[in-house]
Amino acid sequence: MQGDAFEAAVKAVEEGFVVCLSSHVNPDGDGIGSLLGLTLILRALGKEVHSALPQPEKFPPQYLFLPGRDCLFHPEELPDKADLFVALDCSNPDRLDGLWSRAEGADVLLNVDHHEDNSLFGDVNLVDPGASSTSELVYRLSRKGNWDLTPEAATCLYTGLVTDTGRFQHRNTGPGALAVASELAAAGADLAAISREVYESQSLSYTRLMGRALERAEVLPDLGLVYSYVTQRDLRETGASLPETEDLIDHLRTVRGTKVAALFKELEDGRIRVSLRSRDGAEVGPVARALGGGGHAGAAGYTSDLDLEGSLARLVEALREAGHG
């Protein structure tokens, strides 16, 4: 990352008055945490802030407690023309889905992200694959700009940090992430509420769905692959929703002797969302990219047009091509 990327980003924010903010499709803890955290910071700076997610209907219930959620607009309500558009945790324009035209139409587009495959689509790119999370980058940006950080904003950013690092266990956890966590705690992040709401408030429906998916887990030992799946029928029968299932794959990933975990989730339109996680130094980013998606070495994903069986076969083939097994 360019040494002056933070300075350029501070300048872009300070010069804009009408600011739009967004994050990616299938929103996760870091996408939402960085979006709401920066929303609150910019509101406190006196900006006219319009924030929206491209798929508000997919907002995971475990993040409903976050402060600033009432500041979210419907994507259709964002102004066509902003001084500044900030894309958070998006590795490429597709991740903004229908909001890309507004991002493109803004005077300045600021891209804040930590994906190694970021396509540097902004006018200003604050992109650091060494950062644990986009929330960490938003925190560092706020320090660089000397902007006030309320306990509410700190709560949002800590949520992004704790979820993207898998509660400080994944390999993106290092001195930097831990230092930022400490500073966010000092700024008043509500750690007790975050662990309760994000990790200890799951619905009975999702608990049962998790049981089904874990019971079905299979291992392909030659590939070091552990996988399972969730169908629309499972969702109907248990009453769970897909956005609730964000951490299901973390349970699959704990199986000893495996290197890659895959969870296949059937979407309403029949396509399959595939989440990949790696362990013990394996990399899943290249496999996800080869199959039309993207992500990090340790956590990546893509969408498959094949059925469940076909998607599994295609993944096995891609893992072999990428040198797994």
Considering only the stretches 14-22, 205-213, 290-298, 315-323, report the one whose residues sit in contact with ligand 5GP under the rule CB under 6 A: 290-298
DSSP string, 117-156: T----SSEEEE-TTSS-HHHHHHHHHHHHT----HHHHHH
Q: Give the binding-site size for ligand 5GP (rule: CB under 6 A).
A: 15
Figure out which of the listed residues 16, 19, 30, 223 binds Mn ion, where binding follows CB under 5 A. Answer: 30
Is 27 a binding residue for ligand 5GP by CB under 6 A? The answer is no
State the minimum distance, in angstroms, from the CB of residue 59 to ligand 5GP: 14
Handedness of CA 71, 77, 82, 88 (dihedral sign): positive
Cα–Cα dist 87/101, whole Å: 12
Going by their DSSP bridges, the two strands 272-278 and 225-230 should be labelled as unpaired
295 is in the binding site of which of Mn ion, ligand 5GP, none (Cβ under 5 to 8 A by kind)? ligand 5GP
CB-nearer residue toward ligand 5GP: 250 or 307:
250
Cα–Cα dist 186/174, whole Å: 19
Handedness of CA 196, 199, 205, 207 (dihedral sign): negative
Is 246 a binding residue for Mn ion by CB under 5 A? The answer is no
Figure out which of the listed residues 26, 34, 133, 135 binds ligand 5GP, where binding follows CB under 6 A. Answer: 26
State the minimum distance, in angstroms, from the CB of residue 234 to Mn ion: 27
Contact in structure between 276 and 287 (CB atoms under 8 Å): yes
Figure out which of the listed residues 300, 312, 315, 316 binds ligand 5GP, where binding follows CB under 6 A. Answer: 300
Figure out which of the listed residues 89, 128, 197, 244 binds Mn ion, where binding follows CB under 5 A. Answer: 89
**Six token digits for residue 47:** 């900006």
State the minimum distance, in angstroms, from the CB of residue 185 to Mn ion: 20
Is 91 a binding residue for ligand 5GP by CB under 6 A? The answer is yes
State the minimum distance, in angstroms, from the CB of residue 91 to ligand 5GP: 5
DSSP string, 46-57: T-EEEEE-S-GG
Figure out which of the listed residues 29, 60, 243, 295 binds ligand 5GP, where binding follows CB under 6 A. Answer: 295
Cα–Cα dist 151/182, whole Å: 13
3-state secondary structure at position 91:
coil
Angstrom CA distances, 196 to 62, 201, 313, stand at 9, 6, 38
CB-nearer residue toward ligand 5GP: 224 or 294:
294
State the minimum distance, in angstroms, from the CB of residue 169 to ligand 5GP: 16
State the minimum distance, in angstroms, from the CB of residue 98 to ligand 5GP: 15
Site residues for Mn ion per CB under 5 A? 30, 89, 133-134, 164
